[in-house]
């Protein structure tokens, strides 16, 4: 299964926003620091004139054999910030889920 890189980042943005709003006024809050993602991606360019290059996030170990597609591993470091707000840290609150630190 593959998902476009932009869609993955949009979903991450949505999840962070949801967590932030659900924790408003909570006793326990966590600061959001840099978000690091390690991804296996496919880079694909269609053979049609003017075609865009597309980045797909794929499952680790995915086998790609197309001549116009290459698979690479990348690391993205995102630093979440709120627009229209004074600089400062974002806070997410709530109980830690199993496996979270």
What is the DSSP code string of 45-87? Answer: E-SSTTPPEEEEEE-TT-----TTEEEEEEEEEE----TTS-S
Residues 6+ apart with CB under 8 A from 13: 80
- Residue 41 confidence (pLDDT) above 80: yes
Q: Is residue 98 part of a domain?
A: no
- Residue 71 confidence (pLDDT) above 70: yes
Q: Is residue 41 part of a domain?
A: yes
Query: Domain containing 46: what range?
Result: 2-61+68-85
Res. 22 pLDDT band, cuts 50 70 90: confident
Res. 11 pLDDT band, cuts 50 70 90: very high
For the segment 12-16, the average pLDDT, to the nearest whole number, is: 90
> What phi and psi, each to the nearest 5 degrees, are found at residue 22?
-70, -20
Residues 6+ apart with CB under 8 A from 37: 8, 12, 75, 76, 77, 78
Q: How many domains does the chain have?
A: 1
Q: Is residue 101 part of a domain?
A: no
Whether the predicted model's global pTM rises above the 0.75 cut = no
């Amino acid at each position: 299964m593959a998902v476009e890189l932009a869609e993955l980042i949009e979903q991450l943005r949505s999840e962070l926003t949801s967590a932030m709003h659900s924790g408003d006024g909570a006793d326990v809050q966590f600061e959001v620091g840099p978000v690091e993602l390690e991804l296996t991606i496919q880079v694909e360019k269609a053979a049609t004139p003017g075609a865009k290059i597309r980045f797909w996030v794929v499952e680790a170990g995915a086998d790609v054999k197309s001549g116009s597609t290459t698979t690479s591993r990348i690391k993205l470091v995102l630093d979440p910030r709120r627009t229209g707000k004074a600089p400062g840290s974002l806070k997410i609150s709530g109980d830690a889920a199993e496996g979270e630190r």
